[in-house]
Amino acid sequence: MIKNIVFDIGNVLAAFRWRDYIKELGFADEAEWQPGGKAWRLAAATTKNALWREVDRGVMPLDDIITAMIATDP
């Protein structure tokens, strides 16, 4: 009997378009993607942050991860 089904969404069932999403938030200017730019800083604090793997693993409460990401770049 099957008890659990695990769906791997990011880059498996759906494209993980983090860069496109950040652009859709209004960070489309190429200068913003350079080190120190707003888009670069947002990516560094979220999807490029080592904490992002913890989101995937589900080992830390989401509120703790968000707090730590904000501390990376308030």
To the nearest 10 degrees (0 to 180), the angle between helices 38-45 and 62-72 is 140
For the entire predicted model, the pTM comes to 0.71
Q: Which residue has the tokens 């707090």?
A: 67
| Structural domain boundaries in the chain | 18-72
Q: What is the pLDDT along the chain (74 residues), one digit of tens a residue?
A: 999 888 777 777 778 888 998 999 898 888 899 998 999 999 999 889 988 888 878 888 889 988 998 998 88
Q: How far is 63 from 70, CA to CA, in rounded Å?
A: 11
Report yes or no: 13 and 37 within 8 Å, Cβ to Cβ. no
- Compute CA distances 26 → 23, 50, 73, whole Å: 5, 24, 18
| Secondary structure class of 67 (helix, strand, coil) | helix
